[in-house]
Chains A and B, each alone.
Chain A
């Protein structure tokens, strides 16, 4: 560290620390006393069900992509606990600003499976979803939604509304100025915003060690004037607990918070990627021992909160839900071509109406 090279006689004027949070060990045993909400079996089971549904949905989506019925798709395999845990701590009136891999958060907030399929199937109507109307759609340009989160949070503060903006992005995004500029502004105004970096170790093929020389991503918040913590992102109890505390504090006027969710992307970056080109099977295999679903299942089963029969019922239920959603997605006809001009402006300027008519005419002919 650079500081070691500084003259040791000079006074220390600031010290910072970053803490790491986890509750469930990879084998499902209790690493430290669980937070209060964990005594609510229904909540833990709801978190478990959401992660299982997401994994099954991902599997189906990839199958659709491989058979030419869906576009490029990004799976959450291995990191389901992050988006599910975070979203579970939000209120309806809070605003979610997700990255493109945060399906779990959208689903928790009421977005329908077929709407997510519509989006990845190339239809803008997927972004006009059944979740909270004020939530942002998936953000594809990495990290560029972070300044939006700061703007949303500023609006809350200006109007004195007890609401919180929650912004999710990946480890790669923390290298971008967008994210830092947003965090810096949030720190200046103590805005009600929670930034969550899903550190899944890989930004497509670039490993974290080439992304940053920083020991943690959490410490990046310190330079912006607020706390960052590292959380076991494969422990949904830890994710939920960290989110709950951060969101409550932000709602209470205590300002922003940064959560580094340390997890692992067990799947390819997207269906267009082949991760075996840049990382070893051994590395991936080792991380399968930490994945969030088996971990929570082990805990639930150990606590007699979950049985084999429950598991079988859930599998059937998820399968039926996904299949029904796929049917609805596949049955949704494309929009008429000229509708690409709809919602371009509140009122389409007269000069563009001829182009719209041309599209409509070609379609009719």
Chain B
């Protein structure tokens, strides 16, 4: 199988979806001639034409609103927001329209759209380019929020997102766009949208993460292994609706849990997972559920961003404490 980067896997999935379904339309800033600032849509306009791969005016609210209108007409729009820091004008459309069109019309109109956006810090980008505000999206009923952490999952989950009959926000870990490489068979096979992926099995502690931090989380699991701690690593992959049973099953086995995310601590999606484990898995727990996250501060610009993001060392230290608790 050919080895591709995560962003190439996104490109393969978009091409496959457009090939399979003439209703799939790709739109966003610079997605056409330029092929996207990260090259996620490279070559698509040449293959499918400027009507199906369209460069929009520089207006994010518009991109999300167009998707709602197109989707209500039966198209399957895939909008791109260039960086997560620019997604906020889309919130009105996501909260008030995309996520509730089906419900408020009792199924008369639906919204099969995908909004893709790069997620997270770590590429020394300018201000407002390094956000990870997935928790506020995962709070919106009627929406699906997905974030892959490998080329294989980017391909399979994006195909699933585009084929899904409901709106999906698809977050792509910027830091892994080129750093993550893996074999991807462009066979049109989708992955399920409601499953977490166990990346590594272990009996001593469960490490749960999503997106780019899984790179550090896997490295931390290696380091812990050298200390005799067998960590199980779960890629949550879909934050809404998340896979409760995989989480609970793992906690039942290990009794200990550390949640890792890049987003700020307070009100982050880790809080949801921790509360869920407290509600449903307390009897399995041998130690308090703990979080290693970004700090409760504005995401710093390039010079300090590495101090903000969860490091292998912070994850190892955090996991060690959870394992030592008795």
Name A's B-contacting residues (CB within 8 A): 95, 124-125, 127-129, 133-134, 136-137, 140-141, 144, 146-158, 165, 177-178, 181-182, 184-185, 188, 342-346, 349-352
Contact = CB atoms under 8 A, between A and B. Distances in A.
B96 A144 contact: yes
Contacts of B73: 95, 134, 151-152, 155-156
Which residue, of A149, A350, A351, has the highest number of chain B Cβ atoms within 10 A?
Answer: A351
Contacts of A147: 61-62, 64-66, 68-69, 93
Interface string B46-81: 000001100011010110111111111111010000
A188 B61 contact: no
A155 B113 CA distance: 14
Contact of B107 (A149, A184, A343, A351): A343
A177 B61 contact: yes
A321 to B, nearest CB: 24
A128 B59 contact: no
B97 interface: yes
Given A147-B64, A181-B65, 9 more contacts: A128-B106, A134-B72, A149-B69, A151-B65, A154-B70, A155-B70, A178-B92, A185-B56, A344-B103
Nearest to A155: B73
A156 B107 CA distance: 22
Nearest to B240: A349
A125 B103 CA distance: 10
A124 B105 contact: yes
Contact of A124 (B67, B104, B165, B194): B104
Nearest to B143: A345
Given A128-B106, A128-B107, A137-B104, A152 B62 contact: no
A93 B243 CA distance: 42
A350 B245 CA distance: 10
Given A124-B103, A125-B106, A185 B66 contact: yes
Contacts of A178: 61, 65, 92
Contact residues of A: prevailing secondary structure: helix
Nearest to A153: B69
A133 B108 CA distance: 7
Contacts of B244: 351
A151 B107 contact: no
A144 B93 contact: yes
A195 to B, nearest CB: 13
Nearest to B164: A346
B62 A351 contact: no
B305 to A, nearest CB: 31
Interface in B252-292: none
6 contacts: A125-B106, A127-B108, A152-B69, A158-B75, A344-B102, A346-B110
Nearest to A176: B61
Which residue, of B57, B65, B69, B74, has the highest number of chain A Cβ atoms within 10 A?
Answer: B69
Contact of B105 (A128, A182, A184): A128
Contact of A345 (B68, B75, B166): B166
A83 B325 CA distance: 68
Q: Which 8 pairs between the two chains have the least Cβ-Cβ distance?
A: A151-B69, A147-B65, A148-B69, A155-B73, A128-B106, A349-B241, A181-B62, A151-B66
A43 to B, nearest CB: 29
A148 B57 CA distance: 15
A158 B52 contact: yes
B25 interface: yes
A146 B165 CA distance: 23
B65 A124 contact: no
A154 B93 contact: no
Contacts of A157: 51
B219 interface: no
A124 B108 CA distance: 11
B106 A351 contact: no
B109 interface: yes
A346 B103 contact: no
A343 B104 CA distance: 8
B242 interface: yes
Contacts of B85: none
Nearest to A127: B105
